[in-house]
Amino acid sequence: MPRTFSLPASRTEVVLEEIRRGILTRELLPGQPLVEAELAQRLGVSKTPVREALKVLSNSGLVTFSPYKGASVCVVDADLARAVYDVRMVLEPEAVRRTVELRDPSLLEDAAEALKQASGAIADRDEAALSLLNRRFHRALYSGCGNPLLVSILDDLKDRAALISIVGWESNPSWRKELTEHKAILAAAKKGDAEGAAALLRKHISEFLQRILSAIGDQAED
C-alpha cells in the first residue's frame, strides 16, 4: 500500500529523504535492487523524482549503479570503510581543533544538546535517534572551524560514514562507550584544550573503525 505524506515544493526532496531513511534504518538492505517503478508505487509518486533521488544518493555514496543491474543499495566492504574513515581521521580532528581554538562557547552548545538527548535515546533503546544524534554531535564540533570548504568535505562524507557505522553498531552496539568518549571530547573542548580534543576524537574514530573492520571480517566468515 503506497505511503501517504504531504509533499513540499520538491517531490524529489521527499523521495530522497524517504529512500535515505530506508537505507540507513536497514529497511532497504545492502545490495538490494532499487527499482524505480517499485519505489514510485510505494511512495505514491512518478518515476521521475525517484530517478533524480537515486542519482543524488549515488553521489552521496548510499546507492551504486551497475550497467546491467541498475541501482542498488551500497554494500559496505573493508576498502570503503578504510577510505572514508581515513579521510575523517585526517580532516575531522583538525576541524575540531580549529573550532576549539576559537574559544566560542556558543559553538559547543549544539554538541552538548546532542549528548543530552543521546543519554535519553540510549535509555529508550532508540537506535534511529542515536544514529542521528551521533551525526549531529560530530558536525556540531567541526562545523565551527571557520573553513566552509573543510566543512563541506566532511558533510559530503556523512551518508557514507552513517552507512558504515551501521555495520559496527549491528555487530557491537557500543552506544554507551561512544557516549562516554563523546563526553570526554566535549569536556576537553569546553576547557579550550584544542590538541586534547583533537587527539581524543582521532582515537575515537580510529577505534570505531577497528570495530567496523572486525564486524566486516566476521560477516565474511559466516
CATH number of 11-73: 1.10.10.10
Interval 12-18 mean pLDDT: 90
Q: What is the pLDDT of residue 219?
A: 57
Residue with cell 552538548: 112
- Evaluate whether 60 touches 156 at the Cβ level (below 8 Å): yes
Q: How confident is the model at residue 9 (pLDDT cuts 50, 70, 90)?
A: very low
User: What per-residue string of b and e applies to 26-50 under the rule 16 or more CB within 10 Å gives b?
Assistant: eebeeeeebebeebbebbebeeebb
Q: What is the mean pLDDT of the chain?
A: 90
The CATH label, of 1.25.40.10, 1.10.10.10, 1.20.120.530, 3.40.718.10, for the domain at 78-221 is: 1.20.120.530
Q: Does the pLDDT at position 189 exceed 70?
A: yes
Grid cell of 34 as nine digits: 532499487
Q: What is the pLDDT of residue 6?
A: 47
Residue ranges per domain, the chain? 11-73, 78-221
Q: What is the pLDDT of residue 139?
A: 96
**Rg, the chain, Cα only:** 18
Render pLDDT for 85-134 as a digit per residue (tens, 0 to 9): 999 999 999 999 999 999 999 999 999 999 999 988 888 878 778 888 99
For the chain, give the percent of residues with pLDDT over 70.
94
